[in-house]
Structure 1
Amino acid sequence: MSGIQRRELLVGTAAVALAGCATTTPAQQPLRRVAFGSCFDQSQAKQPVWDAILAAKPDLFLFGGDNVYCEMPFTRERLREAYAQASTSAGLRRVRETIPHLAIWDDHDYGQNDGGADFAGKQVAKEEFLAYWNVPANDARRQREGLYTSQAFGPPGQRVQVIVLDTRWFRSPWKRTDQRDAPGKERYVADADPSKTILGAAQWAWLEQQLREPAQVRLILSGYQVLAEGHGWERWGLLPHEKQKLLRLLADTRAGGVVLLSGDRHIGTFYRDPGTAYPLTEVTASGFTHTWEAAREAGPNRIGELFTELHFGTVDIDWAARAIQLALVDLQGRTRRSVALSFDELKVTA
């Protein structure tokens, strides 16, 4: 596709505006490669990741959060400065101008480290997010709380649904650890309080509707990890009833083709939970400009070892073979970790 066509996708007969681009030319080709990642420090002088992403030629790119780092304490001016500095990156600008993309925030572009529903600056942060990402005036995100959204790509029978969750705006406070930096309890511990939420009632209801829509592949993007266990950093398992609610919803809606994508951790890795309706798989890709090179942690549900070099993630879809490959790709374009899935195993059969 030409550069213009790559920025213009139609779903059925409804135009979908991505990153504020006009949508005037139909493009019904199915997605074959989706790339994604997180954690971009706009102050870093060297940013080779963008050249690697451009070389990979994805059909769609997902910015998974911490897309800039706002200096704390939060002010509108500091967040605006962070976005302005990011806008000077020639590589990032080429990615945004030539690859269709969707974005969600995590804590550092939300405006508060590990922030949730009680963050006083979240409306200001949302306004700056909408402006930076050129979100159209008629987009639903401008009319409701939070930044959750979804898009479907490709023709019937080859449809990829991208569901972008907002795990910040509505999220109840985490339960703080009683043993800071202890393995498995580094910052927070699990909280069984049933009144607490990650998504909030409106987003939960919206998500159920989305999961009932037809799609062969569903990419669900969460700012922080869903299936990971064994560490005390932010993750869905800190509110175990919310994590189980998500897994039950996937089973109850019989939503097939689900792959979970996440960021936040400054590492890359894969997880699989065999106790779900089908073997649910997650790939975490976190480290555009900086990673946690010394990372060591327990790995319940983890597939393989942590990857701690700079990287981004890819989802390659082979429609003829009915297969998906999830990968972590380094700055030289080499696949360093990968997991293969088939469409047939991503089904609710019971």
Structure 2
Amino acid sequence: MKVQALVAVGALSLASCATQDGGSVFPNLFEPAPTSAVEALNRYYEDFPESQLPKAPEGLPLPASDAVISRVLVASCNDEELESPTLARLAEEDADLFLMIGDNVYGDRDGRNYAINDVELTELRESFSDLKDRPEFQAVRAKFPMMVAWDDHDMGQNDGGKDFPFKALAERVHETFWGLTDEDVGQWPGTYYARAFGPEGKRVQVIVLDTRFFRSELTPTDEYGAVGKERYMPPPAGAYQDMLGSAQWTWLQNQLQAPADIRLVVSSIQVMPTTHGWEAWSTMPEERQRLFDMIKKTGADGVVFLSGDRHTGFIYEERGVLPYAANELTASSLNVSFATETSERDTRQIGAGFPPENYGAVEIDWDAKKISLVLKDTNGQTARRNDIAFSEIGVD
């Protein structure tokens, strides 16, 4: 039975409940009764007490809009219940910005978020509370300005998408923790946002996508565990699926038309590879092509994709899908490594995948007119690297 059905009766019953602070869930007695479980939940979540939502230690402000950005750190997949020497090592780096791009906590490990009796996402909130107390995390908050994306485990449902019934509260947890409630992203459904830094000729735009809140249900594999079909596969011909939702697609089109020289497009799941059956844009080929076509149509030069999720680091490069070489850096994971080697090989890969704990760096040399995508191991040593001339990604 789907989660939505499981929670329907309990969610509607919230109409007569009280919040933890003793306030009425629906304080306006003349407001019409909710017509669905989702509406009931969302009304309840609007009044969920902020005092019950954990907040990260206060971080540094983002760089000024005219600040030149030359080094950006990237990381994902951090289990807040475990020590993270790799995150501690990352905190010793020098950088202008740190992007924490998904599975920043694992808030669904106990499975309670699938149950009707955890509509308040107890485990997820506990996970963020644990993260804020981690000394490694406190070190990076004190060291770097940060931008963040979420993925399934910090939304609260493994491989979850738009049908996750508790996503409205999960969004509040995310935006409250990261101090985004009063930002533009806090004013619309979903967690996508963008910022730009630097003057004309040295402008870096960071576009953080939300590949969860609006994403359609994935197509299950017909051969579980088979190489290339591990969990999911593309849908049958003619099936409709959506990765970003109409509002976010429109927003992205506008962002791609904004002036920028280098555009770091953050997707919590991988964009370019097509040879595996784990979550990725390749499970929705038409949406993947829609992304490439939008970049072409808007004339957006300098796009580089950044992703996480895979518990293995990868660097990719491919020609032909964009007007210039398409490049992607997958940095994963900080402290949830499952192997030391991988046989996975995509024709787009630059070198072998790197499964040990890792983080990434985007190094921009404005004088030499090149950008480097770097994977670093837990000791801060370079494990993989791809140096790219600006001219290869359409930048003068």
Query: Which of 63, 68, 75 is the equivalent residue of 1:30?
Result: 68
Report what 2:329 is aligned to: 283
CA offsets 1:256-293 (integer angstroms, 9 cap, x no match): 11110000000001112212221100110011012131
Report what 1:104 is aligned to: 149
> Matched residues in 1 for 2:227 and 2:345: separation?
8
Q: Is it true that 1:241 corresponds to 2:286 in the alignment? A: yes
SS of the residue 2:91 aligns to: helix
The aligned amino acid for 1:289 is N
Query: Which of 173, 180, 197 is the equivalent residue of 2:224?
Result: 180
Q: Is it true that 1:40 corresponds to 2:78 in the alignment? A: yes
Query: Which of 203, 223, 248 is the equivalent residue of 1:203?
Result: 248
> Matched residues in 1 for 2:70 and 2:242: separation?
34
Report what 1:221 is aligned to: 266
Report what 1:25 is aligned to: none
Report what 1:131 is aligned to: 176
> Matched residues in 2 for 1:172 and 1:98: separation?
37
1:5 to 1:173, Cα distance in 2 relative to 1, 3 A: closer
> Matched residues in 1 for 2:263 and 2:391: separation?
14
CA contact (8 A) 1:222 1:260 kept: yes
Report what 1:168 is aligned to: 212
CA offsets 1:304-327 (integer angstroms, 9 cap, x no match): 101011110000000111110110
Q: Is it true that 1:62 corresponds to 2:99 in the alignment? A: yes
Q: Name stretches of at least 5 consecutive residues in structure 1 with no aligned partner.
A: 12-27
CA deviation after TM superposition for structure 1 residue 342, in Å:
1.1
SS of the residue 2:106 aligns to: coil
Report what 2:370 is aligned to: 323
More deviation, 162-171/125-134:
125-134
> Matched residues in 2 for 1:274 and 1:142: separation?
37
CA deviation after TM superposition for structure 1 residue 297, in Å:
2.3
Report what 1:292 is aligned to: 338
> Matched residues in 2 for 1:253 and 1:231: separation?
29
CA deviation after TM superposition for structure 1 residue 202, in Å:
0.6
CA contact (8 A) 1:311 1:331 kept: yes
The aligned amino acid for 2:139 is R
Report what 1:18 is aligned to: none
The aligned amino acid for 2:185 is R
Q: Is it true that 1:9 corresponds to 2:63 in the alignment? A: yes
CA offsets 1:43-75 (integer angstroms, 9 cap, x no match): 11x311223212221110001100000132314
More deviation, 50-59/309-318:
50-59
CA deviation after TM superposition for structure 1 residue 296, in Å:
3.0
Report what 1:73 is aligned to: 112
CA contact (8 A) 2:77 2:334 kept: yes
Query: Which of 310, 322, 332 is the equivalent residue of 1:265?
Result: 310
SS of the residue 1:307 aligns to: coil
> Matched residues in 1 for 2:261 and 2:135: separation?
35
More deviation, 268-277/227-236:
268-277
1:336 to 1:251, Cα distance in 2 relative to 1, 3 A: same
SS of the residue 2:164 aligns to: coil
SS of the residue 2:353 aligns to: strand
SS of the residue 1:86 aligns to: helix
SS of the residue 1:125 aligns to: helix
Query: How is 1:298-309 mapped onto 2 (pairs within 5 angstroms)?
Result: 298-309=345-356
CA deviation after TM superposition for structure 1 residue 6, in Å:
6.0
CA offsets 1:106-130 (integer angstroms, 9 cap, x no match): 0100111100110001001011111
Report what 1:19 is aligned to: none
CA contact (8 A) 2:275 2:346 kept: yes
Q: Is it true that 1:92 corresponds to 2:137 in the alignment? A: yes
> Matched residues in 2 for 1:301 and 1:5: separation?
37
> Matched residues in 1 for 2:59 and 2:365: separation?
21
Structure 1: 4+ residue segments shifted above 2 A: 4-10, 192-195, 294-298
Q: Over alpha carbons, which structure has the higher Rg? A: 2
**Higher percent of residues as strand:** 1
> Matched residues in 2 for 1:8 and 1:236: separation?
29
**Higher percent of residues as helix:** 2
Report what 1:150 is aligned to: 194
> Matched residues in 2 for 1:36 and 1:224: separation?
14
Q: How many pairs were matched up?
A: 328
CA deviation after TM superposition for structure 1 residue 194, in Å:
5.1
> Matched residues in 2 for 1:134 and 1:230: separation?
37
CA offsets 1:192-238 (integer angstroms, 9 cap, x no match): 44521001111111001000111111000000000011111001011
> Matched residues in 1 for 2:366 and 2:260: separation?
13
Q: Name stretches of at least 5 consecutive residues in structure 2 with no aligned partner.
A: 1-57
> Matched residues in 2 for 1:300 and 1:229: separation?
9
> Matched residues in 2 for 1:215 and 1:170: separation?
27
More deviation, 128-137/181-190:
128-137
The aligned amino acid for 1:54 is A
CA-based RMSD of the aligned residues comes to 1.7
Q: Is it true that 1:51 corresponds to 2:96 in the alignment? A: no
Report what 2:360 is aligned to: 313
> Matched residues in 2 for 1:5 and 1:174: separation?
36
1:112 to 1:32, Cα distance in 2 relative to 1, 3 A: same
CA deviation after TM superposition for structure 1 residue 8, in Å:
4.7
The aligned amino acid for 1:56 is E
